[in-house]
Amino acid sequence: MKLILNTKKKILTGIMALAVATTTYSSALAYVPIGENYHIPAAKMEVDNFFSKELSANNLQRSDFLERNIQAPLIKYNPQKIWKAKSKYADGLKFVYIRPIGTSTDSDVGGSNPGGGYISLTRGSILVNSAPFFGSADTTLTPKDYNIYALSAIASDYAHECGHWYYDDPLVSSKLGQSDQTVARDLVSQEARADAFGIRLLENVPQFSVGGDLNSIRRGAKQSGWYGNPKEHPTFDSRWKNTYNYIKQMSNNRVRFENENSHDNGVFYIKDKQGKDWKIVVPKQYDVYGFVDANNKKELYNSYERANYVMGQVAWAIKNNCWDANHVSIEDGTKYFKDIPQGDVTIKVIVARKNNKEYKIIDWGGTSKVENKNFYSAEQKEAFDNYLSNLLYSTGMR
Ligand SMILES: [Zn+2]
């Protein structure tokens, strides 16, 4: 049977096709047949191995923050695909850990799933994804809940590991004492499968965007390069293209970057129902925390990666038939975020709502409560107003 691993789009659009291709060289014990909704529960030995070896060898530190802000929403909105285990040996996801390696410019090791439902993210990967832009030392292990861009990137890394859990990929690892019959292409196909699984988890969570995966990939590539020769993973460039193509497909080709050959797009287009293209020029996002006035506030996230987030969310709304004036509204931020500081700024959230349960946070903007103290400078205000207008015009709103 012909392998289709190099046909990148197929990996994302045709999981079943990949399943057929991959099982032709599966090993006897280890390699799990690939197929959607084909979950393989972890073996008891994986749990034992985690506690006897992995936990102390990697100095893993349990993170309540990641369990509450990343794992819990992914589970809540994907109950058919992932769930929390009720006990140590029960099937399901378990504690989430931080592995204390890496820095704000080093996420070379990202997440890992050593087996048994236990997943860790490295300190470096969280710091890198939380920063306003790659290389900034102004970052944190606990981004605020309104930093939907950072949280989506972190969630993308965790969701990818959930894919390894779902198919029980760690069992093929020789670390667990199994005969390791996998070859490089098995590992690459496992990684592509985990990517595909992960972005589909992001798709269902209101505050996480499939575009968060583009952010995580972009920052990884900032350190390691787009076209490196990774041992196991597809290149960052091919992962980027897979996720970007998935976003376009969600939108039925109604969203696209201005420059599809670039990874640095702060500009994208949305086609409205009449087929007219609206140019969305996304400004950088500012933090409401620490805000003093228009000239004294911190950058929260850069325009390129804010654009990735927004485009992924708009694509969901188009896919779910709610990118229109009847389903898109601007609402008070306190309804969605708990971390907004008491002070002079409020947050207004753009929401696309399909029904009572399913919705997406498209983006948000800050507004000052005080008459002569603006959140945006005149120039920033103009950029934001243009951005918001075109975004809303593309829904058909007038
Ligand atoms: Zn992986």
Mean pLDDT across the chain, nearest whole number?
A: 88
Measure 77 CA to ligand 1 centroid, in angstroms.
Answer: 22
Measure 103 CA to ligand 1 centroid, in angstroms.
Answer: 20
Measure 75 CA to ligand 1 centroid, in angstroms.
Answer: 19
* Residues 271, 360: Cα–Cα separation, whole Å: 19
Kindly state whether residues 283 and 181 are assigned to the same domain. no
**What pLDDT is stored for residue 392 in this prediction?**
98
Kindly state whether residues 285 and 208 are assigned to the same domain. no
Condensed to tens digits (0 to 9), the pLDDT of residues 116-139 reads 999 999 999 999 999 999 999 999
Whether residue 398 is contained in a domain is answered as: no
Kindly state whether residues 379 and 278 are assigned to the same domain. yes
* Residues 326, 92: Cα–Cα separation, whole Å: 39
- Boundary of a domain, candidates 230, 247, 264: 247
Measure 194 CA to ligand 1 centroid, in angstroms.
Answer: 6
Measure 217 CA to ligand 1 centroid, in angstroms.
Answer: 12
Whether residue 99 is contained in a domain is answered as: yes
Residue 122, SS3?
strand
Whether residue 22 is contained in a domain is answered as: yes
H/E segment holding residue 360: strand 359-368
Measure 334 CA to ligand 1 centroid, in angstroms.
Answer: 36
Domain of residue 152 covers 8-247
Give the N- to C-terminal CA distance of the chain in Å, as an integer. 54
Measure 272 CA to ligand 1 centroid, in angstroms.
Answer: 36
Whether residue 83 is contained in a domain is answered as: yes
Condensed to tens digits (0 to 9), the pLDDT of residues 47-103 reads 999 999 999 999 999 999 999 999 999 999 999 999 999 999 999 999 999 999 999
Measure 190 CA to ligand 1 centroid, in angstroms.
Answer: 7
The predicted model gives 145-173 an average pLDDT of 92
| Length of the chain counted residue by residue | 398
Measure 160 CA to ligand 1 centroid, in angstroms.
Answer: 6
Measure 397 CA to ligand 1 centroid, in angstroms.
Answer: 42
Kindly state whether residues 61 and 162 are assigned to the same domain. yes
Whether residue 3 is contained in a domain is answered as: no
Measure 315 CA to ligand 1 centroid, in angstroms.
Answer: 25
Measure 142 CA to ligand 1 centroid, in angstroms.
Answer: 23
Condensed to tens digits (0 to 9), the pLDDT of residues 290-334 reads 888 888 999 999 999 999 999 999 999 999 999 999 999 999 999
Kindly state whether residues 273 and 293 are assigned to the same domain. yes
Question: Are the C-beta atoms of 140 and 146 separated by less than 8 Å?
Answer: no
Kindly state whether residues 210 and 276 are assigned to the same domain. no
Measure 316 CA to ligand 1 centroid, in angstroms.
Answer: 25
Q: Please give the tally of structural domains in the chain.
A: 2
Measure 119 CA to ligand 1 centroid, in angstroms.
Answer: 11
- pLDDT at residue 179 above 70? no
Q: How many CB atoms lie within 10 A of CB 341?
A: 13
Measure 191 CA to ligand 1 centroid, in angstroms.
Answer: 5
Measure 198 CA to ligand 1 centroid, in angstroms.
Answer: 10
Kindly state whether residues 264 and 355 are assigned to the same domain. yes
Kindly state whether residues 265 and 234 are assigned to the same domain. no
- Boundary of a domain, candidates 212, 227, 247: 247
Measure 159 CA to ligand 1 centroid, in angstroms.
Answer: 10
- Boundary of a domain, candidates 247, 279, 305: 247
* Residues 389, 34: Cα–Cα separation, whole Å: 44
